[in-house]
Every structure is written in structure tokens, then in C-alpha cells.
Structure 1
Amino acid sequence: MGENALASFSQTGVFGILSMVISLGCILLSWWALQNLKLDLIIRHPQSPQGKMLHVLLAIVLGHFVAKFMLDYIGWSQLLRMGF
């Protein structure tokens, strides 16, 4: 394995770990933010298993979009470095 291939593999691994940490952090942040949402206004039984599952799914979807934006922003900032 060449030195360039090893460096590329290492960078890919670091970016993978960074992506996972940012994604999980954004999902947890979304979960925390959604705790303030009054789901009982739009759901019949918010304490039911279905209501709780909807809360989890909303946190995952919202966290995914926020994490994707943050990771895209990091990627864009890395591309700027190559432009100058």
C-alpha cells in the first residue's frame, strides 16, 4: 500500500468518524429541541408507543438534515482551501 493510499484511507476514516459523531450529536440536539414541542395538539395520544415513535422519527429526520448541512458546509470549506 502506497503512502498516498494510506493517507487517503486515514482521511476517509477520520471523515467517517466525524460524520457519525456530528450526525448523532445533531439527532440528540433535535431530540432535546423537540421536547418543547406540544405534540398533544396534533396527536391523539402523545404518550402512546406510536406517539413516542413519531417523536423519535422526527428527531432523526431533523437531526439528519442539520447534520447533512453541517457536513456539506465542512466539505465546502475544504474545497475553498483548494481554490486559493
Structure 2
Amino acid sequence: MMVGEVGQQAVVHIFVTLFVLVLVWWSLQSFKFELFVRDPASPQGRVLYVLVVVALTYAVSQFLLDYVNWSLMLQYLF
């Protein structure tokens, strides 16, 4: 793998992760977080919210990036 390809792959990963982060943050705005957390406005509630956003972002972006990489590797099947 060339150095330029690694750099391009890093940029794609960063942009996909940031896009998914915004998407997850936006979609969780409609989630009733107060039903599961005693005081969602407290620092602990806010940190938990951020951790949930980060965990979902990582899972979804990793899935998307893996799917793209697996799709690109299909050319080596035949």
C-alpha cells in the first residue's frame, strides 16, 4: 500500500466517522433519555449521553467502513 493511499484512507475514515457522529447525535435528540436516567441534565447524565453517542458512532462507522472494504476485496475472489 502506498503512502498516498494510506492518507486517502485516513481522510475517508475521518469524514465517515464525523458524518456518522452528526447523524447519531441528531437521531438521539428524539430519544427520551430521561426515561432511563435519573437526572439527564446532571454532569453524569451528559457524560453518559456523550458515551452512548461515541459508542454508537464507532459501531456504525466501523460497520460502514468494513462493508466498503469487504466490497472492494470482492474483486480478488475471481
Give TM-score scaled by structure 2 length: 0.90
In the other structure, the counterpart of 1:50 is: 44
Paired residue for 1:75, among 64, 69, 72?
Answer: 69
By how many angstroms is 1:43 displaced?
A: 0.8
CA offsets, 1:53-74, max 9 Å, x none?
Answer: 1111111100100000000011
Q: Which amino acid aligns with 1:16?
A: A
* Contact 1:28-1:59 within 8 A present in 2 as well: no
Give 5+ residue unaligned stretches, structure 2.
none
Which residue of structure 2 lines up, in the alignment, with residue 31 of structure 1?
25
- Alpha carbons 1:22, 1:67 under 8 Å: kept: yes
Structure 1 unmatched ranges of 5 or more? 1-6
Rg larger in structure: 1
What do residues 16-64 of structure 1 show as CA deviations (whole Å, max 9, x unaligned)? 1101111111111111111111111111111111111111111110010
Matched pairs, number: 78
User: Does 2:47 align with 1:19?
Assistant: no
Shift of 1:82: 2.5
CA–CA separation in structure 1 for the residues paired with 2:75 and 2:4: 19
- Letter matched to residue 69 of structure 2: G
